[in-house]
A and B are shown apart, each in its own frame.
Chain A
């Protein structure tokens, strides 16, 4: 492996440099003649630090990758990262998988950034300053590693917390923490790279466009935004989840079929599916029948005044009958629903 990587590197660099050479005047900050270029290539290839860094990070990456694959094989997680739905996985193997995966990612980030720095040394990529990049590589790789490790620890803790129960609002916590981690990682990477003026302008115009488009879209799709915010609110609210039977304040009752970003679908007992915008449903009273543990039977009985003397006896008998029969508990589908 130690010999293969430098050879590969030389091959890649030579191929890229041959391809880049005709247009090097347009893309380069500095102009080298062919001899100078070859000289730099040889110098850089002989640069022991770069080769060492590439070899070590590549090896760590491959080792971690094999651990990831083995752990994955053991847990039938060969291709996909464990998700919040895989609550059946054991906490220990999930944590091992997560940490190995983050080491794997860190090593490969390190490897590829070093590779970019090495290539930049020969070819001089327009937007890359190899001096800054070389300094920034360890910080970027470690930041990515820390973020990935934190993410996997967080996921393991959340899975432990729910331990086979329904996900509920845990999913939105998971996504929110992931978002914060990604956002901070991107922030660290951007500040480490010290982007030059041209790129800065590009970013500025991007932000300007996105700001203008945000205003435009917020005007055009105010309702849609409300529904989406409502959808997030429904998930955080955790008043109901898919499969549960609910009754809304407006009298609609049924089983929740799906909770989308914009709308929630409820299937009534007559099999009609009603779609309700999430912005509406968060403002409704919701009674979750599936989460109730007790039920009630109420029946009004009317008797003539002629039977007034018998009524107390009838009521006492009803109590006696109920207590005797309720212990039998027949499970049948065809039932009487009420006396009118």
Chain B
């Protein structure tokens, strides 16, 4: 039901959003890993539009984090460069 409402919202408010998901990905040793993955009808060659769109997604993530009063985990292992 919620998914349906979201889909309708997407189509109504964001015509350039193609498809996407925000879901739990895996349980790691000392943290939970999730992945936000959105596809847009924006050509990546258009650097300005692509960059500002990416920023809006990241800002949206930041607001959701703040709203729920959670913080990002700091993993003991550096995962950033191994992915």
Q: Do A302 and B80 touch across chains, with their CB atoms under 8 A apart?
A: no
Interface residue from A311, A331, A340 paired with B52 (Cβ < 8 Å): A331
Known: A317-B64, A324-B13. A304 touches B32 (CB 8 A): yes
Give 5 pairs: A residue, B residue, CB < 8 Å, sorted on A: A295-B40, A302-B33, A302-B72, A311-B24, A323-B13
Residue A1 lies at the interface, judged by CB distance under 8 Å to chain B: no
Contact residues in A for B49 (Cβ distance below 8 Å) = 329, 331
19 new A-B contacts at CB < 8 Å, known A322-B61, A324-B9: A290-B45, A296-B38, A298-B36, A301-B34, A305-B31, A307-B70, A310-B68, A311-B24, A313-B68, A314-B68, A317-B64, A322-B20, A324-B60, A326-B13, A326-B17, A326-B56, A329-B16, A331-B49, A336-B59
Contact B34 A295 (CB under 8 A): no
Pick the most buried of A289, A308, A315, A339: most chain B CB atoms within 10 A of its CB: A315
Closest to A255 in B: B45
- In the complex, what residue of chain A is closest to B81 when comparing beta carbons? A340
Interchain nearest-CB distance for B82 vs A (Å): 11
Contact with B along A228-248 (1 / 0, CB 8 A): 000000000000000011000
Known contacts A323-B13, A326-B56; A294/B20 CB under 8 A = no
The reply to whether A293 and B57 contact each other, CB–CB distance below 8 Å, is no
Q: Which listed residue, B20, B45, B52, touches A289 by the CB 8 Å rule? A: B45
Contact A329 B53 (CB under 8 A): yes
Contacting A at CB under 8 A, from B3-35, are: 6, 9-10, 13-14, 16-18, 20, 22-25, 28, 30-35
User: How many residue pairs at the A-B interface have CB separations less than 8 Å?
Assistant: 191
Question: Which residues of A are found within 8 Å of B45, using beta-carbon distances?
Answer: 244-245, 289-292
Q: In the complex, are the beta carbons of B16 and A335 less than 8 A apart?
A: no
Closest Cβ of chain A to B13, distance in Å, is: 4
Residue from A289, A294, A316, A332 whose CB has the most chain B CB atoms within 10 Å: A294
- Given known pairs A300-B25, A318-B60, the reply for A330 and B52 (CB within 8 Å) is yes
Q: From B36, B40, B55, B71, give the contact of A304 (CB < 8 A).
A: B71
Binding site for A on B (CB under 8 A): 2, 6, 9-10, 13-14, 16-18, 20, 22-25, 28, 30-45, 48-61, 63-65, 67-73, 75, 79-80, 83
Q: How far is the CA of A330 from the CA of B75 in the complex (A)?
A: 33
List chain A residues, Cβ under 8 A from B16. 326, 329
Question: Is A339 within 8 A of B61, CB to CB?
Answer: yes
Residue of A nearest to B67 (CB): A317
Knowing A301-B61, A310-B68, A327-B14, the reply to whether A295 touches B36 (Cβ < 8 A) is no
7 tightest A-B contacts by CB?
A321-B60, A317-B64, A335-B55, A290-B45, A327-B13, A326-B14, A315-B22
Partner of A299, one of B9, B18, B36, B73: B36
Q: Report whether B34 and A316 are in contact in the complex, using a CB–CB cutoff of 8 Å.
A: no
Q: How far is the CB of A61 from chain B (nearest CB, A)?
A: 50
Q: What CA separation (Å) do A306 and B1 show in the bound complex?
A: 28
